[in-house]
Chains A and B, each alone.
Chain A
Amino acid sequence: MARRATPEINAGSMADIAFLLLIFFLVTTTMDVDSGITRRLPPPIETPEDIKIKERNVLNVLVNKNDRLLVDGKPGDIRTLKDVAKRFMTPVFPDDPNYPETELVNVPGLGDVHISKGVISLKNDRGTSYDMYIRVQNELARAFNELRDELASRRFGLKYNQLTDEEQIKAINEAVPMRISEAEPENIGGN
């Protein structure tokens, strides 16, 4: 007796099954890339010692528990913070006592450049909201990024984030260092 040939499996619904799985993975996939403000924490210090920095070289930014700003001893506004920081960090030559000191440094790829010795000191209260803190960090980063953009377009004709040459990026980073110092936390005013 001849064996009956096994009938061919109908593969017509395979596409449907695959579609179902595909839709499941499409829905569960999150394509979002994590982004944020990257910072480097300083190493811990055992005994905090006062490092003497000339007062003209420091821009003090304080944020209190009501999210109010104090910029260099005067009440400040988040909307003008970027411009204040930018004006402060722009190297001024010849020397002007109202602005931070500058030093002449030979940066490979740029030649001799005046680099501001300014430091922005950021201090917040325990009661400051995280949202405000990020906004302040963002405005300060914006000031530095604009300075870098300006220098990059002056020297290389490209914006800072359009630079592809590692050497050029390094040179700009060296000429406009991101100097944001965060004060050691203190309990002031409580929360």
Chain B
Amino acid sequence: MSKFKTKKTKGSPAINTSSLPDIIFMLLFFFMVTTVMREVTLKVKVKLPQATEVQKLEKKSLVSYIYIGPPTNAALGTESRIQLNDQFARVRDIQEFVAREREARNEADRGLITTSLKVHKETKMGVVTDVKQELRKASAFRINYSTLRGQTASN
């Protein structure tokens, strides 16, 4: 009888979970470090077009963003507007924006700044052309038309 009893208590020992918090913390720190919080709140609707021949945009610290699209607040109309940083802007504000973006970078990196244009796909090219002309005047020549990777409608 006693022999039978000892056998029963011999079940597999509980797994030691004392190192579980450490593992979770490790993962936590990884995500905390890699997370990039969105710096701007979008005031315009941006639904990017799709393209197949896309290149990755490297060095995110050297990218400045210009958003163009219809305002999310319907009361402001449906005409495409430009958003720089956190507010609506006009075409003539772009040169100053580029200058300020340049000021914020290291002197060595200033020539390498890429301007990423995040433009809503139904925007008319008129405003995009105006922005491009301003960028040329501000000598911000490297631009990137932000697109999603995917199939285009044509194929």
20 contacts between A and B (CB under 8 A): A11-B18, A14-B21, A15-B20, A34-B56, A37-B55, A40-B142, A41-B132, A41-B141, A43-B136, A128-B124, A130-B128, A133-B128, A134-B49, A134-B121, A135-B153, A137-B145, A138-B52, A139-B152, A185-B133, A191-B124
* Chain B, 104-132, CB within 8 A of any chain A CB: 114, 116, 119-126, 128-129, 132
User: What are the residues of chain A within 8 A of B152 when measuring CB–CB?
Assistant: 135, 138-139
Given A29-B36, A36-B54, A135-B49; 9 other pairs, CB 8 A cutoff = A25-B28, A25-B31, A38-B114, A39-B144, A40-B141, A41-B140, A44-B136, A125-B125, A130-B124
A128 to B32, CA, bound (A): 43
User: What are the residues of chain A within 8 A of B142 when measuring CB–CB?
Assistant: 38, 40-41
Which among A25, A29, A79, A142 is the interface contact of B53 at CB below 8 angstroms?
A142
B21 lies within 8 A of A129 (CB): no
A36 lies within 8 A of B31 (CB): no
Q: Judge whether B137 is part of the interface by a CB distance below 8 angstroms.
A: yes
Which among B21, B32, B37, B144 is the interface contact of A37 at CB below 8 angstroms?
B144
Give how many A residues have a beta carbon under 8 Å from the other chain's beta carbons: 46
A131 to B49, CA, bound (A): 6
Q: Judge whether B34 is part of the interface by a CB distance below 8 angstroms.
A: yes
Chain B contact residues (Cβ within 8 angstroms of A): what range? 35 or more
B145 lies within 8 A of A191 (CB): no
B146 lies within 8 A of A34 (CB): yes
Which among A25, A41, A131, A191 is the interface contact of B143 at CB below 8 angstroms?
A41
B125 lies within 8 A of A124 (CB): yes
CB distance from A30 to the nearest CB of B (A): 7
Which stretch from A16-24, A50-58, A91-99, A105-113 is at the chain B interface? A16-24
* Chain A, 125-170, CB within 8 A of any chain B CB: 125-131, 133-135, 137-139, 141-142, 145
Q: Judge whether A73 is part of the interface by a CB distance below 8 angstroms.
A: no
* Chain B, 9-51, CB within 8 A of any chain A CB: 17-18, 20-21, 24-25, 27-28, 31-32, 34-38, 49, 51
User: What are the residues of chain A within 8 A of B120 when measuring CB–CB?
Assistant: 130
User: What are the residues of chain A within 8 A of B37 when measuring CB–CB?
Assistant: 28
Instruction: Across the interface, name the chain B residue whose C-beta is closest to A63.
Output: B125
Instruction: Across the interface, name the chain A residue whose C-beta is closest to B68.
Output: A130
Q: Judge whether A78 is part of the interface by a CB distance below 8 angstroms.
A: yes
Q: Judge whether B82 is part of the interface by a CB distance below 8 angstroms.
A: no
A36 lies within 8 A of B154 (CB): no
A99 to B83, CA, bound (A): 44
A14 to B144, CA, bound (A): 45
- Once A18-B24, A33-B56, A130-B124 are accepted as A-B contacts, the answer to whether A41 and B129 lie under 8 Å apart by CB is no
B57 lies within 8 A of A28 (CB): no
Q: Judge whether A35 is part of the interface by a CB distance below 8 angstroms.
A: yes
Q: Judge whether A9 is part of the interface by a CB distance below 8 angstroms.
A: no
